[in-house]
A and B are shown apart, each in its own frame.
Chain A
Amino acid sequence: MKALAARRHHPMALLVILLLALVATGGLYAAFQPRTAQAETYTADDIQQGEALFLANCATCHGRSGEGLQDADGNTLGPSLIGVGAAAVDFQVGTGRMPMENSGAQAWRKPPQMNEEQTRQLSAYVASLGPGPSLPDEQYLDPANGDATKGGEIFRINCAMCHNAAGAGGALTRGKFAPTLDGVEPKHVYEAMETGPQNMPVFNDDNLTAQDKNDVIAYLHALEENGSPGGLSLGSLGPVTEGLYAWTIILSLLTACAVWLGAKAK
């Protein structure tokens, strides 16, 4: 302490402190800066393995080098994957949406066909095709790092109109839909916002910052944590299910009472 105090009087001290502060700020900035470049390092082996998986599972629709394919009528079989990045692959394959079972209005979430390692290798291969969003930084996936109140505001303005205020999902045009967010991993929530899978618009970091996305994750986590203090939530679908409940369960109970009351005792 003494030495430091003594040196502080030196005219160079100010410069040293300034430099230190700059470095610290820069380091912090670098640490908190949302990364758009490759965060995860993939080995050449990963990419090679990924390519093999790609050719076996994805190339029939997306083309042998991920360039996308069209059928004879000009309809897209599978879009180009050049530049979609590792995040898109991790979301699509990690939630089981890809490989797709059969073409329909929209790919469904199902148990993933690829294990984590295979998903990583596929991501590595697709990421090597062209620069795109990489996997999210772990720190933005932890609900504890987000502000649920802010996340709630962001969610209501940007997400609830499609996914429903409770995240129960909603219908889009012609059989498409916004899926329920119940039980979706924070990583996939983040990646979906980042990459805009299927008809979901892209909410990249220029629109909602990494911290904003973290806030949304915190809000969804809080919704799940809080549960339904009033009892059965009836799917959180709002007045329609409540009305249906009144017309079925409650009316049956009331009718049973009325019938019992009106029936002659034995």
Chain B
Amino acid sequence: MTDNLDGTTPAKGVSAIAPKEGGGFPNPGLPPHVHRQADTDKRAEKRAEKIVAGMFVLSILGTVLFIASYFVFTPMDTNLLAEGGTLRAVFWSNLFTGLGLAIAVFFIGAAAVHWAKTLMPDDEMVEERHATRSSDESRDRAVEIITGGLQESGIARRPVIVTAMVGALAALPIAVLAPLSTLGPLPGNKLHHTFWKPGMRLTRDHDGTPIRADEVAMNSIFHVMPEGLTEETPHFLNERAKAAAVIVRIDPAIGKNEESLANGHQGILAFSKICTHVGCPVALYEQQTHHMLCPCHQSTFDVTDAAKVIFGPAHRPLPQLPIEVDAEGYLVATGDFPEPIGPSFWDLHKDK
């Protein structure tokens, strides 16, 4: 049992296969064939035939249902069970066209399989295998072709060409880098700055209205964007992706970080909404524990302690947006985030 199909012994060295005593048991060969009902019983054969034909007919009915549904259960116009142009109409359209198609295709398959199982011959047949490797003659001829071809090309005799060729083939892939580089700009200092500028008002994310400090109730959260960041702003979504922030209000007495409180206004603190792990919006705020949770990977930040990470995969605290109150009582930023927002990257700490 330790030799190859072609009778040669393995050339790989010592193997962990233990030879079997006396070559092991002899293979008893195929067991005797057992006939099916349809092979011996004419009635069973007829029954099988009827079932197969019946399933094909069922498939035709499915096709009819499919085509009919396309006209009587449409999403927008005629629909027997709902008003066109509603989601109920879409539901019935999807259901009936789908069921029609499912019946149409499924029963073609079921009929074919049942046919093969019951009426086509079920004698097991044997096909010989041969070793996968090509014959010695083929191999010799292949070696001959390759060595001969290499000789004809003169590759061994012309080292200059070979060197130049290797050089050319090595240089070409570098050329690929050029078109690749046109796929996008260099990072530059883009990741280090956001839309926030000193004096910019904090506005409600959903309607762009500015927020007065006295509107921020204890234990509330506001999702904010900088004033003036509108759909007309160039790279609108890119700017939103970086500027997104939240403001929360805590009792300054429970604040654990003086610097963080100083960057806020009477316990109103503004933090970047973008997780410092891989960049999901954080924002699941628990008003009693003052924890902010990221729904993607569960990083948890403590807003009473400068949004320090207290659980999960993030490492850096959420950058805090320094804020104050302007003459009209509105909250304004006194500058950009002190460090890059969002996921950490290689040269995060470099000034740019």
Contact = CB atoms under 8 A, between A and B. Distances in A.
A230 interface: yes
Interface stretch (A53-61, A90-98, A117-125, A155-163): A155-163
A227 B291 CA distance: 34
A162 to B, nearest CB: 5
Contacts of B223: 157-158
A204 B206 contact: no
Interface stretch (A25-33, A243-251, A258-266): A258-266
Contact of A231 (B95, B281, B286, B298): B95
A119 B284 CA distance: 31
Contact of A212 (B90, B118, B206): B206
B38 interface: yes
Given A228-B91, A260-B113, A264-B122, A203 B220 contact: yes
Given A196-B219, A202-B220, A207-B220, A170 B284 contact: yes
A235 B117 CA distance: 40
**Interface of chain B, main secondary structure:** mixed
B288 A198 contact: yes
B218 A202 contact: yes
A199 B286 contact: yes
B293 A172 contact: yes
A173 B91 contact: no
Given A260-B113, A265-B118, A204 B283 contact: no
Contact of A204 (B37, B87, B217): B217
Contacts of A157: 205-206, 223
B238 interface: no
A172 B87 contact: no
A3 to B, nearest CB: 46
A200 interface: yes
A216 B218 CA distance: 22
B87 A161 contact: no
A201 interface: yes
Contacts of A8: none
A180 B86 CA distance: 25
A206 B207 CA distance: 13
B289 A199 contact: yes
Given A161-B284, A172-B286, A207 B91 contact: no
Interface in B273-308: 281, 283-289, 291, 293, 295, 298, 300
Contacts of A41: none
B50 interface: no
Nearest to B34: A264
Nearest to A197: B287
Contacts of B287: 196, 199-202
B220 A231 contact: no
Contacts of A266: 36-37
A176 interface: yes
B256 interface: no
A40 interface: no
B71 interface: no
Contacts of A204: 217, 220
Contacts of A200: 287
Interface string A47-76: 000000000000000000000000000000
A153 interface: yes
B215 interface: yes
A206 B216 contact: yes
A31 to B, nearest CB: 22
Given A173-B286, A176-B286, A207-B215, A201 B220 contact: yes
A103 interface: no
B38 to A, nearest CB: 7
Nearest to B288: A199
Contacts of A170: 284, 295
Contacts of B107: none
B222 interface: yes
A261 B91 contact: no
Nearest to B114: A265
A170 B248 CA distance: 21
B58 to A, nearest CB: 16
B286 A154 contact: no
B300 A173 contact: yes
Contacts of A202: 217-220, 287
A230 B87 CA distance: 9
Contacts of A199: 286-289
A229 interface: yes
A226 interface: yes
A139 B153 CA distance: 90
B288 to A, nearest CB: 5
30 contacts: A157-B206, A157-B223, A158-B206, A158-B223, A162-B295, A173-B289, A173-B291, A173-B300, A173-B311, A176-B286, A178-B284, A196-B219, A196-B287, A199-B286, A199-B289, A201-B221, A202-B220, A204-B220, A207-B220, A207-B222, A226-B87, A227-B88, A229-B88, A229-B90, A230-B94, A264-B34, A264-B117, A265-B38, A265-B118, A265-B122
